[in-house]
Amino acid sequence: MDFSEQTWTKAELRRTGIAVSLAVLVIAALLFFGVDWNIERRKAQQKLERLYRDLMIVQVTLNQMQRADGAFPAPAEGALPKSISEFYARNQGDAPYYQDLARYLRLDLFAAEGPQRAPLGYWVKEDGDRWIVISRGPDQDFDLTEDTVRTWEPSKWLLATYDPTNGVASSGDIWIYNGAE
């Protein structure tokens, strides 16, 4: 068939024009509304959101433990002790949601997955009035060292802090601490 001699009717041209226009509008709308096609990035963002929520729960629980016991719990080899999960479970009642949360509360969501997921890092200042809880962050590696943390100068910790503007899986740790003086 020789296409150079094919003629298009007005109706065919109109239908083709409408179809092309609709396709362009749909693509433009998807781009404008920022449809996120990257599923892995979305999963990492959801994990980050859950970690931030969990760190806030850890903060509240540590403060409650300090009020109840007169001191923050001692670290278990640089990690959150199991007592935080037990304390949380005791104080939240028997609701299944809280019991499930208590089971994984002390675990680092960014540690390598497996049957024994590693706990969050945790240190208490020698005088017992300050603590820090640290997640490995999306790169699954501690960037804050125990020596750096033990200086208790948060400005030095900033160099090893996770920054989402560097990409979802960039290096750096996610941490929370009580800044009591």
pLDDT in tens, 6-64: 677 888 878 888 888 998 988 887 777 766 667 777 787 888 888 888 888 888 888 88
Higher pLDDT, residue 140 or 34: 140
Please tell me the distance from the alpha carbon of residue 135 to that of residue 118, in angstroms, as a whole number.
10
Determine contact, residues 118/169, Cβ cutoff 8 Å: no
Q: Given its phi and psi angles, is residue 27 left (phi above 0), alpha (psi -120 to 50 degrees) or beta?
A: alpha
Does residue 95 have a pLDDT over 60?
A: yes
What global pTM score does this model have? 0.70
Residue 129: other Cβ atoms inside 10 A: 14
Q: Where are the beta strands (DSSP E) in the chain?
A: 121-124, 131-135, 174-177
Q: Is the pLDDT of residue 139 over 80?
A: yes
pLDDT for 180: 55
